[in-house]
Amino acid sequence: MSLASKIAIVTGGAMGIGFAVSTDLAGRGVSVVITDAQDAAAAANRLRDEGHHAIGVKVDVSSETDTDAMAAAAVAEFGGIDILVNNAGIYSTLLPRPFEEIDPAEWRRVMEVNTMGIFLCSRAVLAQFKVRGGGRIINVSSGVAFKGNPFMAHYVASKGAVVSLTRAMATELGRYNVLVNSVAPGFTMSEGVERNPALVAGVKEPSLRGRVLARDMLPADLVGAVAFFAGPDSAFITGQTLIVDGGAYYH
């Protein structure tokens, strides 16, 4: 229970990878603030029903006001912040389409949530990290950042930016003992993805064919990597991206 008594914020934590991470951290003794654009309170209630410490906060990560309120809620409820998991992102609702057919408004929204959201959330918690003498930021990127997958150019670009932002933040924030790393999952069969038949039809089979471990990736497959970067065993690791995709890409 090396994470016991720690306090974590998980963005996009109400479902899929985010809820799997929230559940795993809670099981390790972490007090969890689940943030999401919807259903955050219901997700936190599920954890509390199992005896864990959790609250839910409705947050649009592209809003400076919301992200500041997110940090304030964590401090008010639990007394501080030790860990930020930047998981919120737009993916499962996207329809694969050629580069030239992507709506510029959709491109802007993907970049606002997937990249600026990380900037705003990280900035919002930094003051608490300084007060507490350090902290951990774990950004959720994607294996597509390294493979350049087709028909999702805005998503691929946003996740490539997450990798670069992770490195820049690690360089700047190391002086405050804030470690910044990234986990990059492969195509994951989450609840949101399963609701998008066009996405599943276009991505699932190629993903399975490209993996050494030829099975579906599930949200639970990522939680160990997040816990590692959140815990003491990674205390001298920062600026890194760990790809968790069943051996589809070696980085």
Query: Looking at the domain assignment, is residue 219 inside a domain?
Result: yes
pLDDT digit string, tens, across residues 139-155: 999 999 999 999 999 99
Active site residue 155: yes
Assess contact for 41 and 17: CB atoms under 8 A. no
Catalytic residue among 155, 176, 249, 250: 155
The pLDDT value given to residue 1: 56
Q: In the chain, how many domains are there?
A: 1
Host domain of residue 20 = 7-244
What pTM was estimated for this model as a whole? 0.96
Assess contact for 64 and 120: CB atoms under 8 A. yes
Query: Looking at the domain assignment, is residue 81 inside a domain?
Result: yes
Query: Looking at the domain assignment, is residue 250 inside a domain?
Result: no
> Any long-range contacts for 166-175 (C-beta under 8 Å, 24+ apart)?
166/139, 166/141, 166/239, 166/240, 166/241, 167/239, 169/122, 169/137, 170/238, 170/239, 171/239, 173/126, 173/129, 173/137, 174/238
| Mean pLDDT along residues 11-32 | 97
Query: Looking at the domain assignment, is residue 2 inside a domain?
Result: no
pLDDT digit string, tens, across residues 60-102: 999 999 999 999 999 999 999 999 999 999 998 999 999 999 9
Report CA-CA distances (Å) from 203 to 95, 106, 147, 149: 11, 20, 13, 10
Banded pLDDT at 203 (limits 50, 70, 90): confident
Q: What is the CATH number of the domain that holds 32?
A: 3.40.50.720
